[in-house]
Amino acid sequence: MSETTQPSTPETDSEPGRSFGQRILLENVTKRYGGQADAAVDDVTIEIPAGEIVMLVGPSGCGKTTTMKMINRLIEPTSGKIFIGDEDVTHRNADDLRRHIGYVIQGAGLFPHYTVAENIAIVPRLLGWKKDRIAARVDELLELVNLEPAQYRDRYPRELSGGQQQRIGVARALAADPPVLLMDEPFGAVDPITRQRLQDELLRLQEELRKTIVFVTHDFDEAVKLGDRIAILDVGSRIVQYDTPEAILAAPASDFVEGFVGHGAALKQLTLTRVRDVELHEAAVAQVGGDATAAIQDARAKGREWVIVLDDQQRPQRWVSVKELERAGSLTGISRDRDLEVVSTASTLNDALDEMLTSSHGVVVVTGRRNSYQGVVRVETIMQAMQQISSAAAEARPVEP
Ligand code: ADP
Ligand code: MG
């Protein structure tokens, strides 16, 4: 039976999208650290379905990291079994196992004296891949995490921003195309805007890769946004509730869970709706180097004061007012506005609202694959979605006295 369930081998596991996720099963897993009365992880049983993102959420010290590190055997369980696919990995060679499980930690954990390419290449080198194959894989992964290979492959980690380092951390974890990714508060140390982008990118990647991802966080909003399922953990990694975000928001299993969900559950449901799920509108659009007169006419016909200018690959560059266009009379030499607010189709309405509240246009630009322009979201669209969500929630919930 296990012959057909593709335990990955170094020769076959490298092609992109080839190695989809495998189920993970923890069976009565316990970890006792020496000299402690209570188990750090106390008899945990949980099944993580293949190809899903499962979020482990719980207070500090409840055993999240210990639970995760037992899956790749950075920590040995005191008792219990752990399966990946059909294989009981508690008996597998631990070093070998770790080469087939991607691991991403906070701060990325890159080696400072290795270049980006060398960092990403670590596991493929351990697996004995040929040089050319490694180089090709490095470039492919850099593209995958939205970093221009020629520009980044020879840099050192200190020459990158925190968000870029974290992307390299993800690329490194994916290098040998493992079926399973373990992510331990990976986006905990970056600023909120970078965190949002990294979350969006992870979702976009996952649509293609379909890995099984175990993701630890103490941020319930992050769990709602990223998780196919959420396990809410109490001390000893005890599972208090394990369900979809929708189900947990609609019916928290206990006061403890309620405490995590917090107030404004209806508002939080905005985190459950993606930009791609709502109607996009057309902005007035122009091309860098295009015809300014036509752009002005187009904006006027649509009743718009602002035009979004795209480059030759349809990537939004900046908003330009009709007045500016009239004055300049040309669309040449328009450069990218580094502060241009955009969201992706995978972003949540919550993110879109955030961006909108700091922009002066009342809309936010939406990008899709390769950052290409898709349209705009209007504030009215978000308000409408919020109303629908809260009236649906009011119907679903019994009225409290
Ligand atoms: P979390 O990731 O949820 O914050 P951890 O898994 O790191 O929690 O820790 C769970 C419990 O185990 C905590 O009480 C912690 O103090 C304890 N613990 C973690 N690592 C060790 C260790 N190496 N030795 C002893 N106790 C540990
Ligand atoms: Mg931890």
DSSP string, 277-290: GS--BPPEEEETTS
21 CA → ligand 1 middle, Å: 28
pTM over 0.85: no
Of ligand 1's listed atoms, the one at least distance from the Cα of 67 is: 6
Please report the pLDDT score of residue 138 as a whole number. Answer: 96
67 CA → ligand 2 middle, Å: 9
Please report the pLDDT score of residue 264 as a whole number. Answer: 60
Please report the pLDDT score of residue 78 as a whole number. Answer: 94
Tokens of 286: 């122009």
Closest residue by Cα to atom 14, ligand 1, is 61
Distances (CA, A) of 221 to 166, 242, 245, 262, 264: 20, 16, 10, 10, 12
Of ligand 1's listed atoms, the one at least distance from the Cα of 216 is: 2
231 CA → ligand 2 middle, Å: 15
Pocket test for ligand 1, best of 44, 62, 70 (most atoms within 8 A of CB): 62
Between helices 192-209 and 349-357, what is the axis angle to 10°? 150
Tell me the mean pLDDT in the region 125-132. 88
Of ligand 1's listed atoms, the one at least distance from the Cα of 237 is: 3
103 CA → ligand 2 middle, Å: 14
Q: Quick one: CA dihedral 198, 178, 111, 94, positive or negative?
A: positive
370 CA → ligand 1 middle, Å: 41
DSSP 370: G
**Reported confidence tier of residue 315, pLDDT bands at 50, 70, 90:** very high
- Is the per-residue pLDDT at 325 higher than 70? yes
Tens-place pLDDT, residues 339-358:
888 999 988 888 888 787 76
- Is the per-residue pLDDT at 5 higher than 50? no
Tens-place pLDDT, residues 351-396:
888 787 766 677 899 999 888 999 999 878 887 887 776 666 556 5
- Is the per-residue pLDDT at 124 higher than 80? yes
Please report the pLDDT score of residue 23 as a whole number. Answer: 95
Tokens of 248: 């947990």
Distance CA 381, CA 375 (A): 13
Residues with C-beta less than 6 Å from any ligand 1 atom: 33, 40, 58, 60-66
Pocket test for ligand 1, best of 30, 55, 57, 65 (most atoms within 8 A of CB): 65
What is the three-state SS of 19-60?
CCCCCEEEEEEEECCCCCCCCCEEEEEEEECCCCEEEEECCC
- Is the per-residue pLDDT at 326 higher than 70? yes
The ligand that comes nearest to the alpha carbon of residue 60 is 1
Distances (CA, A) of 240 to 42, 205, 229, 237: 13, 30, 13, 9
Of ligand 1's listed atoms, the one at least distance from the Cα of 75 is: 23
Closest residue by Cα to atom 21, ligand 1, is 33
**Reported confidence tier of residue 3, pLDDT bands at 50, 70, 90:** very low
40 CA → ligand 2 middle, Å: 12
Which of 242, 234, 218 is CA-nearest to residue 38?
A: 234
Tens-place pLDDT, residues 239-290:
999 999 888 888 888 888 887 776 566 566 777 788 998 999 999 999 999 9
Between helices 349-357 and 379-396, what is the axis angle to 10°? 140
214 CA → ligand 2 middle, Å: 13
Tens-place pLDDT, residues 147-202:
899 999 999 999 998 889 989 999 999 998 899 999 999 888 788 778 888 898 89
The ligand that comes nearest to the alpha carbon of residue 34 is 1
269 CA → ligand 2 middle, Å: 26
Q: Give the percent of the chain with pLDDT over 90.
A: 47
Q: Quick one: CA dihedral 140, 146, 148, 152, positive or negative?
A: negative
Residues, beta carbon < 5 Å, ion ligand 2: 65
